[in-house]
Amino acid sequence: MADTITKNSPPTGGDVTPLISLPAATARIATVAGSVLALAGTFMAWTWTSAFPGDLTVTGYPGGLQVLVLISSALTLLFALSGYGIRGLNWVAPGGPNAAARLTALGTLGTVGYTLGAIAFQLGGVVNLEPGAWVAGIGALIAVVGSLALPFDQPFPAGDPDKGGWARFRHSLTAPHPPRARALPSAVEILIIVAGFALGLIVFTYGIDTEYGELFVGFLITVAFAFTGLARAGLVSRLTALTARYRGISLAAAFAAALCFPFTQDNDYYALIGTNILIFATVALGLNVVVGLAGLLDLGYVAFLGVGAYTAALVSGSAASTIGVEFPFWAAVLTGGAVSLVFGVVIGAPTLRLRGDYLAIVTLGFGEIFRVTMNNLNGASGPDVTNGAQGISAIPDVKIFGFDLGSPHDIGGFTLGRNANYFLLMLLFTAIVVMVFNRSGSSRIGRAWVAIREDETAATAMGINGFRVKLIAFALGATLAGLAGTVQAHVAYSVTPDQYEFAGTAPPNSAFLLAAVILGGMGTVSGPLIGGALLYLIPAKLDFMDDYQLLLFGLALILLMRFRPEGIVANKRAQLQFHENDQLDLPEQRLSDTAVDTTKAGA
């Protein structure tokens, strides 16, 4: 078949010359052949010994990292074939197949290269590689070269002053906005939403279930490139449009998928990771009220999580509690939230008259004051309230309506352990926090927060009481963190001051919480949840890189700020702000078409 421009391609009017000079037909054949070769290599042995994790010695059955290479190469093959205009494959890449093929091909090469390097490093040289590894590696390299020789989906602007190779390479990985999606029956669109969240559950479950660090690193490489490829193909934006159209159904599907997670786990430890992810992500969503909506840089937010946790530990009947009272769980939750609210108002009232860096420094000081105070309330340096550095231990398990979350329970043939029970409890709290965030963000006070964030002087001139609005945001964020802290205290059995530092080797701490909001996308609902999940899961899975975690974390933030400053889930306003220059990168033909359409509309 001839390599032609499909109906999904944008109008011409700029430079479409690829990065590597090859005939278009040859480039596409190379991409297809390379991806097929890489896929075939996954069914061959990659090493002769099972000493490398995953047992890559089997021929005819992929295992471990080979499965990830198989998935990535299959996606590359699918996108490459869709460029032929084959009937029935147009839906694969409505925004253009070539950028998606490049990204998935790079992901295949990255996963293969990482695996080959890990085998050589752990086993003592490339001599330990079997032919299957070389076949997959050569195939992935051919696919990358072929994909780089494919024409641009979106013509490179002819008048762009930056015509360097790096600019052209970045442009080759972009795609135009996908065309308006064809209307489908409502039932079909709802099924697509359900399938999307089901796929998300499968990917998340696979990531948590990875049994060794090498597999998790390969998982991160594959998912990063595959997700970006699907986004460039236009599939993610179409799914996003459907979720916006069916907002209620989408939220129900999301929480239904999360509800199914503990039923997919045989190991209760993975359910514990899921529970801690929910706690961390929920606190990040509360911080998003302060930072994302109101624009207040709070560097001591983890202290409010500690306030809720310590309050719950003191009033839940712990043997180490110095108060000696035992509230039912619902009362302990309300007490923890109320005390956090009071602390939010007390701290916010004198400090929120500051702006910018001064506010950040003061909130950072509050976080450290809280930790030092909890450490000194030990009966020697101060009153005996928190037992100092030893903290409050032996916090009893939650009992709700006679249902003990500390004991395993059988539900529908599935046995849910202690951690799975707490996962379901924390999921309820997450749903409450999401509802509060949605309601407050779309309310009158939420619009006032956004106005303050964008320009406080202008908002004040329009009659908005800036101090009162910021104090409400600060108090609400503190309350949400306190609610999550009450659950955290029961999950961990104990609370200690060192759990609430500004920066540490693992979350939750203020630095990681702020990074989760920025990474996920400020001002969005799903952004902090995704960012929190990533920033908790990665340190939990990469224990063997303890000495380099903060270094890698810093490098990841630098790359994120360079290539996607708006975060993984972009707020539309932030996306336009960070990429305002990109709005001018439209082909001349498209601009003329727009002018003609405008003239017709005016007529």
State the Cα angle at 298 between 294 and 302, rounded to 5°: 125
Question: By C-alpha distance, which of 245, 267, 247, 271 is closest to 258?
Answer: 271
Rounded CA Rg of the chain: 26
- The SS3 call for residue 416 is strand
The stretches of 185-212 forming alpha helices (DSSP H) are 186-209
pLDDT above 60: residue 176: no
Cα atoms found within 13 Å of the Cα of residue 91, Cβ hemisphere only: 7
Phi and psi for 376 in degrees, rounded to 5? -95, -10
Q: What is the DSSP string of 425-459?
A: HHHHHHHHHHHHHHHHHTSHHHHHHHHHHH-HHHH
pLDDT tens digits for range 236-292: 888 888 888 888 898 889 899 999 998 888 888 888 989 999 999 899 988 999 888
User: What is the pLDDT, as a whole number, of residue 579?
Assistant: 56
pLDDT at residue 455 above 50? yes
CA–CA gap between residue 411 and residue 200 (Å, rounded): 24
- Say how many C-beta atoms besides its own lie within 10 A of residue 216's C-beta: 20
Q: What is the pLDDT of residue 532?
A: 85
Spell out the residues 6+ positions from residue 576 whose beta carbon is closer than 8 angstroms to its own. Answer: 583
Q: How many CB atoms lie within 10 A of CB 217?
A: 21
**Contacts for 204 with CB less than 8 Å, ≥ 6 apart:** 261, 533
**If you ran DSSP here, which 8-state letter would residue 404 be given?**
E
| pLDDT at 470 > cutoff 80 | yes
pLDDT band at 505 (very low <50, low <70, confident <90, very high): low
Contacts of 418 (CB under 8 A, 6+ apart): 268, 397, 405, 406, 407, 408
Per-residue pLDDT at 502: 79
Backbone angles phi, psi at 326, to 5 degrees: -140, 105
| Helical pair 329-351 and 466-492, crossing angle rounded to 10 deg | 140
Residue 5 has pLDDT above 80, yes or no: no
pLDDT confidence of residue 583: 47
Provide the pLDDT confidence category of residue 587 given band limits of 50, 70 and 90: very low
Burial-class residue 120 by CB neighbours within 10 Å (0-12, 13-18, 19+). Answer: middle
Q: Does residue 129 contact residue 46 with C-beta atoms inside 8 Å?
A: yes
Q: At 409, which helix (H) or strand (E)? A: strand 409-411
pLDDT of residue 406: 85
pLDDT score of 592 more than 50? no
What pTM did the predictor assign?
0.83
Q: What is the H or E stretch that residue 410 is in?
A: strand 409-411
pLDDT at 3 over 70: no
pLDDT at 221: 93
Structure tokens at 141: 């390299």
| pLDDT above 80: residue 581 | no
> Comparing C-alpha atoms, which of 184, 193, 191, 220 is closest to residue 204?
220
Share of the chain above pLDDT 90, in %: 30
The closest of 235, 253, 228 to 181, measured between CA atoms, is 235
Per cent of the chain over pLDDT 70 is 85
Identify the pLDDT of residue 164: 58
Of residues 351 and 592, more confidently modeled: 351
pLDDT tens across 53-109, in order?
888 998 888 988 999 999 999 999 999 998 887 776 777 888 788 889 999 999 999
pLDDT band at 588 (very low <50, low <70, confident <90, very high): very low
Helix (H, G, I), strand (E, B) or coil at 421: helix
Question: At residue 602, does pLDDT exceed 80?
Answer: no
* Average per-residue pLDDT for the chain: 83
Ranges 124-128, 458-462, 465-469, 572-576: which has the least confidence: 572-576
What pairing do the DSSP bridges indicate for beta strands 409-411 and 403-404? unpaired
Ranges of each domain in the chain: 24-241, 265-570
pLDDT of 593: 39
**More confident site: 44 or 294:** 44
463/166: higher pLDDT:
463
- pLDDT tens for 333-381 read 999 999 999 999 998 888 888 877 888 888 888 888 998 999 888 877 7
Whether 473 contacts 500, CB under 8 Å: no
